[in-house]
Amino acid sequence: MPDSLTASKQDYLETILDFTAEAGQVRSIDIARALGVSRASVNKSLGFLKESGLIEHEHYGDVKLTEAGLRAARQVRARHNLLKLFLIDILKVSPDTAEQDACRMEHAISRETVEKLEVYLKTTLAQNNAE
């Protein structure tokens, strides 16, 4: 994933990924509503993502993730899901709080920490399931 992606741009990619999975198509108005931002903000961010080679988008057309965009969005989603699993299953945080916290944490966590957390969760959850 490009290091230059801000938390906001990562949220855009994640939102596009979600809408693609749910509806098969993504419009800028859908993104604006989901993120609670103006269409002007969406258009500006989509321009950046397009220039970065992460999406394909023509004015007034559907938004589509490129292969690079899909990889980046999946990485953000995987970090989110990993953090949420840790918060719920290990720390016993409520699902609502875990969702909110994972959304904030997913943008700041290092690759090294993600890898260590993955190993920890696999080991711990496997041990818990064996008992």
| Residue range(s) defining the domain that contains residue 13 | 1-131
Looking at the 3D structure of the chain, how many domains does it have?
1
For residues 126 and 123, what is the distance between their CA atoms, to the nearest angstrom? 5
pLDDT reading at 72 higher than 60:
yes
Q: Determine the distance from the C-alpha atom of residue 35 to the mean position of all C-alpha atoms in its chain, rounded to a whole number.
A: 12
Radius of gyration in angstroms for the set of CA atoms belonging to the chain, rounded to a whole number = 16
For residues 128 and 131, what is the distance between their CA atoms, to the nearest angstrom? 5
Q: What is the pLDDT of residues 6-26, one digit of tens each?
A: 999 999 999 999 999 998 889
CATH code for the domain of 81: 1.10.10.10
Percent of the chain with pLDDT over 90: 84
pLDDT reading at 41 higher than 80:
yes
Q: How many CB atoms lie within 10 A of CB 25?
A: 12
Mean per-residue pLDDT for 16-42? 94
